[in-house]
Amino acid sequence: MSNVTDEAARAEAWTIRRVLTWTAGHFEKKDVDAPRLTAEILLAHVLGATRVRLYVDLDRPLTREELTAYRQLIARRMEGEPTQYLTGTKEFYNRPFKVDARVLIPRPETELLVETVLRHLPVDAPSRVLDVCTGSGCIAVSLAAERPSASVWAVDLSPAALEVARHNAEALGVGARVSLRHGDLLDGLPPDARFDVLVSNPPYVEAGELAGLQREVQREPRLALDGGADGLDLVRRLVAGAPAVLKPGGLLAMEIGEKQGPATLALLQAAGFAQARIEKDLERRDRFALGVAPALPHDGPVPPGHP
């Protein structure tokens, strides 16, 4: 009789397999993006396991405590809270970054911006990089980790975002080479500061489009999204100010909205940037604005390593 009871209990148990199947179906009905993947990520987080481990242990029953924790995450996800905020982590350029409601969630296309900048930076020689609107620090930290000889400054208007960036820089071993600064774009930088690269993923969403964004995106900081009436308020300021902080021949590299290519290219050309161009992301949409800084008339030679 006990064997029959045990088999019945196992049949009713919420195993990993059963939980994932139910949750993925529930998410699909409610139009949650990537329903199966989201179910796996949340359950792996609760169990402190990898997604691969879930499939090794498909028939393991969940404890009452595990089920309770998982159900809480499901409820929060159904309310529109992004998966990355629920787990507190987002993978970016092969590194785990802490993220929460204080910062924008790093996007895959921004990894392409990092790759573009890396092609401009020497592998072994010293260089100086300025990351404006750093948010979680994903760009600054990735560049510092990939270029051990580089010195990176990271600026953000949000003190809360800088706290997250500081955590990520220290956790990923580059805290000593990432200088975090509170400020509004280029304001507040030392007057003689010069950089080999100015990189930025600024807010570029048109203000009128914010209300129509996915509800998950609307959970992200408005300060990191709102680019003004046409989305280019901060882009204009960066293009105008960049020549004063870039060394002659230094690279300006920005992420922009997919409809902003022609307008941004015109800004770069009007500011005198050489090799001004717009590059596309993997979906063939305009996404990156690049230009090489002109030499200002009053600029003298900049000695190697000079700030």
Residue predicted with more confidence, 62 or 306: 62
Q: Percent of the chain having pLDDT more than 90?
A: 91
Compute the average pLDDT of residues 51-61. 96
The answer, yes or no, to whether residue 149 has pLDDT greater than 60, is yes
Q: Per-residue pLDDT tens for 194-226?
A: 999 999 999 999 999 999 999 999 999 999 999
Domain 90-292 is classified in which CATH homologous superfamily?
A: Vaccinia Virus protein VP39 (3.40.50.150)
The answer, yes or no, to whether residue 35 has pLDDT greater than 70, is yes
Enter the tokens of residue 127.
Answer: 């260089």
CATH of domain 2-79: 1.10.8
Sheet holding 195-200, edge to edge: 178-182, 150-156, 127-132, 195-200, 246-255, 286-292, 274-280
Sign, CA dihedral 104-105-109-110, equals: positive
Domain boundaries in the chain?
2-79, 90-292
The answer, yes or no, to whether residue 185 has pLDDT greater than 50, is yes
Compute the average pLDDT of residues 124-135. 97
pLDDT of residue 296: 60
pLDDT of residue 55: 96
Residue predicted with more confidence, 304 or 105: 105
Chain centre to alpha carbon of residue 274: 28
Q: Which residue has the tokens 């890396």?
A: 118
